[in-house]
Amino acid sequence: MDLSDCSFGPFHLYSIETGRFRLDGGAMFGVVPKTLWSRRIKADDKNRIPMAMRCLLVTSENSGRTYLIDNGCGTKFVPKYEEIYQLDHTHSSLHRSLESHGFETGDVTDLIFSHLHFDHCGGTTFYDDRGDIRHTFPEATYHVTQKHLDTATRPNAREKASFLPDNIEPIAGWDKLNTVDDHHEYEEGLSALPAHGHTIGQQLPKITVGDRTIVFMADLLPTHVHLPLPYVMGYDMYPVQTLTEKEQFLKQAVEHNWYLFFEHDTEAEVITVHKENGRYAVKDRLSLSDIPDDK
């Protein structure tokens, strides 16, 4: 488990690997045929592709806050679903990653949820020895958009399988739950971009210092293989909206040379993007540790 970090103005950023899993390759690439996407990423004998659950820990010198953006799928799955999703916590885990950087769960003051699908929020809680659900981060305020909380607590039939009750109910009932609007600013330099195509109310945390920006991509762009505009997940609730959001986002990312931090890419942690022959492509592939500190 090779964990990276960087200083970024008044912020310090730490890559938090919480495990690996697999999802159906066809669902991950929607209408794009396997003959195309399989050239870039290999599927297993059940057509599943490898996925990271890479989260981002952000400490702030200005506010003294310690933010964790998403927290993986957690440990509450029964063996049947561990097998279906090929959950692998031998590669990495939430607790080991935090400890590797010198943190404990009690140090986290704020959980920022990009959204509440199981692979993004399952680590919020765990079952104790008596089978009761406990909160992993007892000191943390939880932040989720109001639009997305409404979606997660009243899901449609198509999205319901991603909103597991033992994940959603403890979050919705947490006494330090804070619901936010689109473009919320957590503090100076840390805000969020809205993206509603994958699921209503998704937020992409965005860290800006001077003319430099890092964006946590969540599921707007799950991997670098998804850079081509038509590569939109079958899991997305509103794929045409995702297409529009991707194009608008990538235009800005190229213009301003944004760093894109991937949650699900097993190969690329951070990239920058350029346009090549009219198509968006990887410009530089980096780790957090490669990003220079211009403080």
Average pLDDT on 127-133 reads: 96
**Predicted pLDDT of residue 292:** 86
Q: Beta-carbon neighbour count of residue 23 at 10 Å?
A: 20
CATH of segment(s) 5-290: 3.60.15.10
pLDDT in tens, 172-211: 999 999 999 999 999 999 999 999 999 999 999 999 999 9
If you average pLDDT over every residue of the chain, what do you get? 96
User: Starting at the edge strand that comes first in sequence, how are the strands of the sheet with 202-209 ordered?
Assistant: 185-187, 190-195, 202-209, 212-216, 259-261, 270-276, 279-286
Q: Beta-carbon neighbour count of residue 284 at 10 Å?
A: 12
Q: 268, 230, 264, 272: which is closest to 247 by C-alpha?
A: 230
CA distance 292 to 205: 20
CA distance 213 to 209: 6
Name the β-bridge partners of 59: 12, 66
User: Three-state SS for 248?
Assistant: helix
What are the distances in angstroms from CA 106 to CA 70, 111, 147, 166?
A: 16, 12, 28, 21
Q: 33, 31, 34: which is closest to 42 by C-alpha?
A: 34
Average pLDDT on 214-226 reads: 98
Q: What are the domain boundaries of the chain?
A: 5-290
pLDDT in tens, 160-176: 999 999 999 999 999 99
pLDDT-derived band at 2, boundaries 50, 70, 90:
low
pLDDT-derived band at 21, boundaries 50, 70, 90:
very high
By residue count, the chain amounts to: 295
